[in-house]
Amino acid sequence: MSVCLTLSNKVSDESWKKKVPAIDGFGTEGIGSMMQYHLLLEFLTDFLGVDFTYPGSTNFAHHAYSGYSEQEYIALIDTFFNFPNITEEWDEVIDFTEVNDNLFSFIESNKNNKKRILINLSNCHRQVEGICSQNTSKIFTKERIDKIKDNLIFTGKKYFDSNINISLHIRTANPNDIPSEVVSPYREKYNFEKDFNRYLNLINFLKENAKEQKSTLHIHSQGFTTNFQEFVELKTDIFDVQLHIDDHPVSDLYHMSNADLLIMSNSSFSWVASLLNSNQKVVRDNFINGSFVHNAIKANYNFTEFSH
């Protein structure tokens, strides 16, 4: 190892040579919004053939109602992603504030350097995403996706059966969320009176396309505003419906990442799962939580039209 990359919202100093500070969620950011960029960097560094280090997480939101302490909650997240955490001391720590040809030239010319060089991509989150978006087909190959997905560590209950397993992520109002009207009108949080018929269209589409194959629809959500029993009533002899409400998010991420078909909500959490899933995805045509979704079918608002 001579060159290693990390991604931070801080500028480095001399102390980084001995220990890179943990990634701070500021008490407002959830798993999706915090981990998506580091996951992208893991894909990018694997593509470039250099190392990547993630120093650990601190101060993430959403643990208050999870049943876990903050320390337990974060430990499960960091264990699940299993990012490399390189703790050796560095000979040099260099900040780059642009992900451009200068960075890539520096990496290439120092790959065989005897020094241990840590590159801190300071506030380059969107730029890392941009490079991945421009090179999606090269970076997000099935082989690389499956390799990184297989590196996840999940010790909880694995409930997928021998049927075709479909994961549907439905977003609901969350007490830690910034109001949708402040952040984005595209979040599309589930409300029975407004949304059930939309999802009924989706499920009828799934049933029609599954035909005689046995399928299980797994619904991943939180029970702040609904118990989702209206979906259970749609099950048939060959189309099962199972609810996974208020599960620990790493369980949802694990199963959504391994689903035969992932139906995404407009959320960073869904996008993280999509990055780890090499199978087919269905995404809303107004999705803005990530700049790309590979291997995806786009759906209109009412789930009546689907297109590549």
Flag whether pLDDT at 35 surpasses 70.
Answer: yes
Give me 299's structure tokens.
């759906």
> Beta-carbon neighbour count of residue 281 at 10 Å?
23
**Does 190 reside within a domain?**
yes
Residues 251 and 279 in one domain: yes
**Does 159 reside within a domain?**
no
**Does 262 reside within a domain?**
yes
Residues 174 and 299 in one domain: yes
**Does 158 reside within a domain?**
no
Secondary structure (DSSP) of the chain: --EEEEEESS---GGGGT-PPPEE-TTT--HHHHHHHHHHHHHHHHHHT-EE----EES-SS-TTTTS-HHHHHHHHHHHH------SPPSEEEEES--SHHHHHHHHHHTT-SS-EEEEEET-HHHHHHHHHHTHHHHS-HHHHHHHHTT----S-----SSEEEEEE-----TTSPPHHHH-TT-----HHHHHHHHHHHHHHHHHHHTTS-EEEEEEE--SS---HHHHTT--SSEEEEEEES--HHHHHHHHHH-SEEE--SSHHHHHHHHT--SEEEEETT--SSS--SSEEEE-TTS--EE-
| Domain harbouring 262, CATH code | 3.40.50.11350
**Does 156 reside within a domain?**
no
User: pLDDT-based confidence at 66, cuts 50/70/90?
Assistant: low
Please give the pLDDT value at position 182.
44
Please give the pLDDT value at position 181.
46
Alpha-carbon separation of residue 279 from 22, 133, 194, 261, 270 (angstroms): 32, 18, 30, 6, 14
Q: What is the extent of the structural domain holding 85?
A: 3-149
Residues 53 and 111 in one domain: yes
Flag whether pLDDT at 23 surpasses 50.
Answer: yes
Residues 235 and 144 in one domain: no
Residues 100 and 177 in one domain: no
Q: Which of 100, 119, 149 is the last residue of a domain?
A: 149
| pTM: predicted TM-score of the whole model, two decimal places | 0.93
Query: What is the dihedral sign for C-alpha 63, 151, 141, 252?
Result: negative
Residues 102 and 169 in one domain: no
Flag whether pLDDT at 100 surpasses 80.
Answer: yes
**Does 92 reside within a domain?**
yes
281, 261 contact by CB (below 8 A): yes
Residues 85 and 177 in one domain: no
**Does 203 reside within a domain?**
yes
Please give the pLDDT value at position 185.
65
Number of domains in the chain: 2
Residues 26 and 120 in one domain: yes
Which residue has better confidence, 119 or 26?
119
Q: What tens digit of pLDDT does each residue of 121-133 get?
A: 999 999 999 999 9
Average pLDDT over every residue of 61-69:
62
Please give the pLDDT value at position 107.
97
Average pLDDT over every residue of 220-230:
87
Q: What tens digit of pLDDT does each residue of 253-288 get?
A: 999 999 999 999 999 999 999 999 999 999 999 999
